[in-house]
Structure 1
Amino acid sequence: MRDWVFSINTSLVIASLSPAGQPRLPCELGCKSGQAGEEILTHDFKDETWSRFSVASRYYKNRVPLSDNVISCLVRYTELHAENAVVADIGAGTGLLASTLANRGFRGYAVEPNASMRAEGERIHGRDFSFQWVNGTAECTGLKHEAVDWICMANAFHWVDASEAVGEFQRVLSPGGYASVIWVLPDFTNDPLRTCIEAKIEEMEPGLDRAYRRALEVMENVEASLQSSGSLHDCIYIASDHTVHMEKLRYINVFRSVQDIPNQIGPSRWARVLAAIEDVISLADEIAPLYRTYSWTVRK
């Protein structure tokens, strides 16, 4: 077993939290329960959440990518060879993470339950994309038993039934395979522009249920959740800070790509919030928001 030593610098953290070549396979329905591809959430969120994801899909190309440092560390840690590894990006959205992995030579499946997201992903990445689009959920991917060497799930684990998803990870992973859950979130502590914007949102629409808060809550127990089945273990945590330079239009479109606020306040009030954000950033000489990518990886 490899020894991963805890290390930290100004931008990267790697910590071991516990002791620590096959071809692409055709997709099939192989879930323990439920039906792959149902366009509903598997828990108590409102049905219109999917419609909001559909509206947001056109802006997903503006979203902030995961830290390249984190992706590089994960690729090195898993020791997978891109030419013969099968990867599943679950909750793929429009394929931002899958595209990042494809650029590193990986191939596999982009599993996404929302039809608008899949359609936008297919439009963006074209027919030659090395990830096959699959209509499925984290709880019921539709992938074959032990068909995948590495599962990746970015900015989505807080939307799923963790217990069912982990059971599905265990089912579709090949022996010795890896599962990584990843988030990229704004650095609310050290980014004064984002702090100002969040204060404005709270002033205009107090008490909203924010997706990032839900993600932070899930992250508090994600190590235990991932290892709850007893078959996934050796959890390692990797995180990195990064700055993303962008034009003001893209920065606004990052907000347009989210569904948590408009889902609660409706389009007219959301338009007023967006206008207020535009007013805030109009005073900024440069848009260089700070982000942090968090990841937890377990092995079967």
Structure 2
Amino acid sequence: MTATLKHGDFTSLAKDYSKYRQGYAPSVVSSLIGLLGGTAEACDAVDVGAGTGIWSRMLAEAGFRSVTAVEPNDTMRATGERDSAHLDIQWRAGRGEHTGLPKDCADLVSMASSFHWVDFEAGTQEFARLLRPGGWFVALWNPRHIEASPLLMDIEAELTRLKPDMKRVTSARQGLMDELTDRLASAPVFDDLVFLEGRHQVSQTVEEYIGVWRSVNDVRVQLGEEKFERFLDYARDRIGDARTVETTYLTRAWAARRRSA
């Protein structure tokens, strides 16, 4: 890359994001449909911070009556539109704090691997505005369960060796996620809270595993390109001659129901 990557800017990462990011646990989709009454075909979904549409497509494939994907980044949104051309997903520009959508238009509002970029108070107010009474907001992430693999634990430990003060902002294990249950439970716009976790294993080629890292904004920004490439070289060296990397993912989801009155 020739341009300096900025914190939170995925413009130059859209291609890798689209090609290498993994999907979420199907069991979490099924559980959310259960919260909505068990019939996706009667429900409208809005996916905010949709990126390239990984989660949006899962909702469409699950049979929701309508899926609207809202994404502020032009390049990510264009990539998502291309990747989703075979599905009936409506794409539009908008932010978590201001989607531009009408009130009471959704039964499910989601933010998949993106809620940490949104102002909590403004975002939850906007999501409650979009939701019909009794509808659900869900914030979910799809972190690697590195504890299941000594190899992956060692590779990720290299991040700290390269930058001891590394702060991950996108992992569903740190920062916002540590307090998310209490914050959502105490938000005046919600009256119930459910935590869901689904585990799924993916066999990735070395290219796919490295490609996922290339799509991660916070690591690249904090390390800088020179150290980031050193990190990828370390990962390749540790993987060695193996043809695949077995990666366990944990889809972690916090679902909050909009107050009826």
Q: How many residues align?
A: 252
166, 172, 193: which one aligns with 2:130: 172
Determine if contact 1:193/1:289 at 8 Å carries over to the other structure: no
Determine if contact 1:167/1:229 at 8 Å carries over to the other structure: no
User: What's 1:264 paired with?
Assistant: 222
Aligned-pair RMSD on alpha carbons? 1.9
The alpha carbon displacement at 1:218 in A equals 1.2
Structure 1 unpaired stretches of 5+: 1-46
Tell me whether 1:294 sits opposite 2:256 in the alignment: no
Structure 1 residues 36-47: aligned runs within 5 Å: none
| Greater helix share, structure number | 2
User: What's 2:50 paired with?
Assistant: 92
Determine if contact 1:158/1:214 at 8 Å carries over to the other structure: no
37, 55, 74: which one aligns with 2:12: 55
Determine if contact 1:153/1:180 at 8 Å carries over to the other structure: yes
The alpha carbon displacement at 1:252 in A equals 0.7
Structure 2 unpaired stretches of 5+: none
User: What's 2:73 paired with?
Assistant: 114
Secondary structure of the corresponding residue to residue 40 of structure 2: coil
CA distance in 1, matches of 2:162, 2:189: 46
Partner letter of residue 94 of structure 2? G
Partner letter of residue 270 of structure 1? F
The alpha carbon displacement at 1:285 in A equals 5.3
Partner letter of residue 141 of structure 1? T
User: What's 2:168 paired with?
Assistant: 210
Deviates more, 1:277-286 or 1:287-296: 277-286
Q: Deviation digits for residues 257-282 of structure 1, max 9, x if unmatched?
A: 11112112322332222122111222
**Structure 2 CA distance for partners of 1:172 and 1:48, relative to 1, 3 Å:** same
TM-score after normalising by structure 1: 0.78
132, 144, 147: which one aligns with 1:189: 147
Identity across matched positions, percent: 33
CA distance in 2, matches of 1:234, 1:123: 36
Partner letter of residue 168 of structure 2? R
Structure 1 residues 29-40: aligned runs within 5 Å: none
Secondary structure of the corresponding residue to residue 192 of structure 2: strand
**Structure 2 CA distance for partners of 1:229 and 1:202, relative to 1, 3 Å:** closer
Partner letter of residue 114 of structure 1? N
